[in-house]
Amino acid sequence: MAAVNVPNARRDAELLLCHSLGRNRAWLITHFQDALDEGNRKIFEGAVHRRAEREPLQYIIGRQEFWGLDFTVTPEVLIPRPETELIIEAALRIGGEKGTLLTIADLCTGSGCIAISLARERERAQLFATDISAKALVVARENARSHAVSARIRFFEGDLFAPLGELDIRGRIDIIVSNPPYIPSGDLGALQPEVRDYEPGMALIAGPEGTEIQKRIINEAPEFLKKDGALILEMGLGQAAALAAIFKENGKYRAPEILNDLAGIERVVVACTR
């Protein structure tokens, strides 16, 4: 895999071998001299070939860790990323103590990793999660069952707030979270092959500007949020100023707070309604 410039090729090979054998890395270290039988060798070689084609490791093994939890991922959903955990941190800070009653909405839920992580952290929270992709919601519901939070998350197929409009929750939501599409359409070709060729385009590309979906969420959210309710959005590199202007133009929010990820990139914006 290194020959075709796969990032972290050695690490990925070890993880693929563990996956092929159904073993963990500790077992692999203590049995590194063992020979592979024919069946396991073919499974491993097939996995390595897929990774050499730049298919994401997470889709090959079908798993990804997020917020310390193990999530099923398929090519129907965006792969959860560590920087998105900033959304969880912000929501928990705003949402108060563990026993607080909360109503939370997660837009563009994908694998369900944000909603499920929040449900695990706040046992008295009621959550609503929407996604335009029916296939993504199959994955999200499976993850909710795996983490025993299905009873507290209602999943809806539809575009952003559209499914929530049929519910009696206008003006009743404490926190709205979202990792929406935010990549400008013109930037698609510059993305890594793992992202460009394999992750779902509808979860990545927002439009020519990259802020189109975020703008819709910002403008529609006040109808659903309580007074002093919070909107928490992930954003792309260099989008903070544009989003701050959208919040200001809307006029229904206090000044937004910008949170940086571990690389120092402005990654999440938090704004509360007046």
The CATH number that applies at residue 203 is 3.40.50.150
Q: Are residues 45 and 80 in the same domain?
A: no
Tell whether 262 and 203 lie within a shared domain: yes
Q: 58 lies in a domain? A: no
Which phi and psi (to 5°) does residue 216 adopt?
-60, -45
Same domain, yes or no: 23 and 77: no
The count of domains in the chain is 2
Q: What is the CA radius of gyration of the chain?
A: 20
How far, CA to CA in Å, does 216 sit from each of 82, 143, 233, 254?
25, 28, 12, 18
Would you say residue 4 has pLDDT above 70? no
Same domain, yes or no: 92 and 143: yes
| Domain around 6 | 2-53
Query: Token match 């050695």: residue?
Result: 10
Q: Are residues 171 and 230 in the same domain?
A: yes
140 touches 132 (CB < 8 A): no
* Residues 79 and 151 reside in one and the same domain: yes
Mean pLDDT of 196-202: 97
Are 118 and 243 in the same domain? yes
Q: Quick check: 76 and 138 in contact, CB under 8 A?
A: yes
* Same domain as 224, residue 113: yes
| Weakest mean pLDDT among 1-10, 36-45, 128-137, 200-209 | 1-10
Q: Which of the four pLDDT bands, split at 50, 70 and 90, describes residue 2? A: low
Does residue 59 belong to any structural domain of this protein? no
Do 49 and 72 share a structural domain?
A: no
- Same-domain pairing of 211 and 78: yes
Co-location of 47 and 89 in the same domain: no
Mean pLDDT confidence for 145-174: 96
